[in-house]
Amino acid sequence: MAIRRLPSPQQSTGLLVYLIETLSDTKRTRVKEILRSGLVHVNGASSTQHDIQIGPHDAVEIRSERAVVQRSLPFDVLFEDGSLFVINKPNGLLTVGNKHEKNRTVESIVNQALASQRQRCYIVQRLDLYTSGVLLLAKTEPAQKKIKDNWGKSDKFYHAIVEGAPNPTQATLTHFLSEDERLLVHASRTPDRGAIKATLSYETLKCQDAHTLIRVKLKTGKKNQIRAQMSAIGHPIAGDAKYGATTNPIDRLCLHASSLTLLHPTTNQRVTFTAPLPNGMDL
């Protein structure tokens, strides 16, 4: 692996500003590409953060290959580059902290893992505590903003086991969601004051005994949307006692974010990330 060591900056400055000045014979767009690619190392750690501050005591290198980062994480990393960090979130792990839990969250765990590279993550989406599957985080604020700006163009698919057999076997559901003081989301057919419109479509994949495996495509992404809407049509998600389920075939909420397709914030190409179904959810 070839390594190009750059002279240390004479004074404190942002990393991208320093690179543009130091690599004056390289086009600005190429310098940005090198930084995004993870080939720039500061004090031995890969960094893609354009605005981190470096000074006379920092060693800056450009390497010909990305470093392989060894991490011990309580979940599988589905994809990582200079802009994205995509994981298969396990059931029972918060996406972000709340008043009861600050440390055992995806956000906290990923930030601790990225700290050695002088990087951090930025929240793009959230999954409920007991929902597993594809969870996307951004590694820069510009990437976070671009993903959110284009979020309406993304395709979000879930798999769920519901109680009973939905009829028809495929349909589009539109409800108006409102949350009560118990933090329970109610799905109504009428647009009550303050309610939020939510739409999804589902299709039946397999039926077995008193349960049905369905595939859901979210048209909108609202809190507890799938759980509330399926409960509203009489087919709550198995394991979801909060929304009326009376069975729990695999000892967990039977809801899994199985696939996410979106525009990559750097390449502008459509990319798809998938997470395999948990044990027992294939019926």
11: closest CA among 62, 66, 57, 60? 57
128 is catalytic: yes
Kindly report the number of other CB atoms within 10 A of residue 283's CB atom: 16
Contacts of 237-246 spanning 24+ positions with Cβ under 8 A: 237/160, 237/161, 237/162, 237/163, 238/161, 238/162, 238/163, 238/211, 239/130, 239/161, 242/184, 243/184, 245/163, 246/163
Q: What whole-number distance in Å separates Cα of residue 268 and Cα of residue 87?
A: 21
Written as six digits, the tokens of 122 are 């930025």
Q: What whole-number distance in Å separates Cα of residue 44 and Cα of residue 168?
A: 58
How far is residue 212 from each of residues 12, 69, 83, 258, measured CA to CA in Å?
Answer: 60, 41, 37, 16
**Alpha helix (H) ranges present in 23-150?**
28-36, 106-115, 141-149
How, if at all, do strands 84-89 and 53-54 pair? unpaired
Active-site residue (options: 25, 51, 58, 128)? 128
Q: What whole-number distance in Å separates Cα of residue 29 and Cα of residue 36?
A: 11
Q: Which residues are catalytic?
A: 128
